[in-house]
Amino acid sequence: MSSDIVSLLIGIVGGVIITAPVLWIAGRMLVGATNAKFTDAITIVVLGSIASALVSFLLGPSLLGSLAQLVVILYLIKKYYECGWGKAFAVAIVTVVIYVVILFVLSLVGFTLLGSYF
């Protein structure tokens, strides 16, 4: 039981450090600086992590559980960024795209650095 709580806390801290800035950038791009505050991004990540853990616990690893988690995340984006469902979905998609681009650039830098040592 305590390892589940520790795992959740590690997930929340990791999400705040990694996901919140990317979510904030996507939000600022799509809903504007007045609606997308960094504290809102942190709140979305923290509440989303907790809600996802609860949904996963209740519904297990299933398609229904995954869809419920998606709806929860979209609702949190909609609520805290004060936008509609369409914009919330767009913010989620752009967040994923930005995240993938950052990972791709970091992998290129990593391969370049590793290549110079071998």
Tell me how far apart the alpha carbons of residues 10 and 12 are, in angstroms, rounded to a whole number. Answer: 5
Give residue 113's pLDDT: 62
Give residue 112's pLDDT: 66
Query: In this predicted model, what pLDDT tens digit does every residue of 1-54 receive, in sequence order?
Result: 567 788 878 888 888 898 999 999 999 999 999 999 999 999 999 999 999 888
**DSSP code string of 64-110:** HHHHHHHHHHHHHHHHHTT--HHHHHHHHHHHHHHHHHHHHHHHHHH
72 or 106, higher pLDDT = 72
**What confidence tier does 107 reach under pLDDT thresholds 50, 70, 90?**
confident
Asked if 65 and 55 count as a contact pair (C-beta separation under 8 A), the reply is yes
Is pLDDT of 118 > 60? no
User: What residues does each domain of the chain span?
Assistant: 2-117
Q: Which helix (H) or strand (E) holds 33?
A: none
Give residue 59's pLDDT: 85
Query: In this predicted model, what pLDDT tens digit does every residue of 60-97 receive, in sequence order?
Result: 788 998 899 999 999 999 999 999 999 999 999 999 99
Nearby residues of 99 by Cβ (< 8 Å), 6 or more positions away? 19, 22
Other CB atoms within 10 Å distance of the CB of residue 99: 16
Q: Cα 95 to chain center, whole Å? A: 7
Q: Which amino acid is at 97?
A: V
Give residue 73's pLDDT: 95
Give residue 109's pLDDT: 79
